[in-house]
Structure 1
């Protein structure tokens, strides 16, 4: 596996945009269906707050498969949301989801060393959150610490789901390969992350500023920023696929099954 130059990170962003442009309505519909399903799961008492995180790897394969379909010239439909549930690797994907949950709770838990648990309360809703507690607290530093602590886990998780699903890897091997693949392409991932940070923050800020100067109507600003944020999120999801193919290659093309003839059936 050759090391990738830093500029590859920007190419991943451009490839994500290119994938989105081929089927923008279809991929956006898939994303909105996913968001609606997550909201529905949130209604389930107790476990409803945990399920969205546990199911991240399962639904991640929905978007990876969608990008695969776009690349192969196939239409993307909302039923791709179920592709992970139909996979023979479902149990392993769910185990990966549990690790997602534990890693996230662990990172946020460590942040309590900095702010006394304010960020933890904000994320979990345990014990309530008083706005006065945030004033003068170290919650910003706690957020940064949680993000830094989570980085090694994110590296191990990044490619784990497709490696489990498309390469039939066991959980431990998939985490191992993912971690070192991301580490080896570290410069490319650094630029990739910075690019999305700039796009995700500066672009909405620039648009909201321009609209505010021209119209100065908060309702219109929200009306414009909401679809913009959805589009940017969908494009970012589409860019995950190129990060995989650049390192592990494209998945084997899915062949359309041909019905057996009467002769072959005999």
Structure 2
């Protein structure tokens, strides 16, 4: 294993810069980026058809796909062509560690679901897992005795550090040869240190996704690849800045 990489704190305005840089990478190969992103969601849907284990399998291997897209981003910067094969490139290197990242993240989600259930949000958890359209209504505090409102608030508080631990982890594994646990610890530290630009990033991305949903959700064909590419642009800025 290599030495633990250093990370830096960046200004709030970099939250927008990450998105701008991601669009720059996207527009070099827009069609391939759309195909890659849609393929991931189609695969998630196909695996989701398999009862019990399908969604678990996808969660385990999703960091591998993320790492493959990061390899694709690096290839573009090196003047190479983005290819469909990049989606599976993560399986060739560090596959076990990437799957471990997915496993840790999955366990975290299960624990959060358990906390929600203990706080009285069990019905909400079940509806969310089943994709029930009324799940959002269950989360309102106006439902007396349901505990759904408190459960959602606590779940969000627990989900944030889990997302921070995941954010840089696949990229650190594939580019810095880090183990899963070490990568997730470092990812959480780096994301926490850059909370303000991440907040700016999150607000802008939320607005862009709302706008993208208006014309029959066709804007998602751009926003989904853009979201994936920002894993790379944030990593470059925080860990690989020259």
Match in the other structure for 1:242: 233
Name the larger-Rg structure: 1
Distance 2:83 2:147 in 1: 45
Alignment pair present for 1:119 and 2:91: no
Which stretch of structure 1 is more off in the superposition, 105-114 or 227-236? Answer: 105-114
TM-score (norm 2): 0.85
Q: Which runs of 5+ in 1 are unaligned?
A: 209-223, 252-266
**What pairs with 1:78-97 in structure 2 (closer than 5 Å)?**
78-87=84-93, 89-97=94-102
- Counterpart in 2 of 1:57? 63
Following TM superposition, where does structure 1 have runs of at least 4 consecutive aligned residues deviating by more than 6 angstroms?
Answer: none
* Structure 1 counterpart of 2:159: 150
Deviations 1:213-256 (A, max 9, x none): xxxxxxxxxxx4232123211111112211000111179xxxxx
Answer whether contact 1:107 1:150 (CA < 8 A) is retained.
yes
Q: Select which of 26, 43, 58 maps to 1:37.
A: 43
CA-to-partner distance for each residue in 1:85-129, whole Å, 9 max, x for gaps?
A: 111x1111111111111111222322234443122112334xx97
- Tell me how far apart the structure 2 counterparts of residues 250 and 75 of structure 1 sit (CA, whole Å): 23
Moved more, 159-168 or 111-120: 111-120
After TM superposition, give the deviation of residue 36 of structure 1 in Å: 2.3
Maintained 8 Å contact 1:118/1:129: no
Shift of the 248–129 alpha-carbon distance from structure 1 to 2, 3 Å rule, reads: closer
Unaligned runs of 5+ in 2: 1-6
> TM-score with structure 1 length normalisation?
0.78
Greater relative CO (CA pairs within 8 A, separation 6+): 2
Q: How many equivalent residue pairs?
A: 230
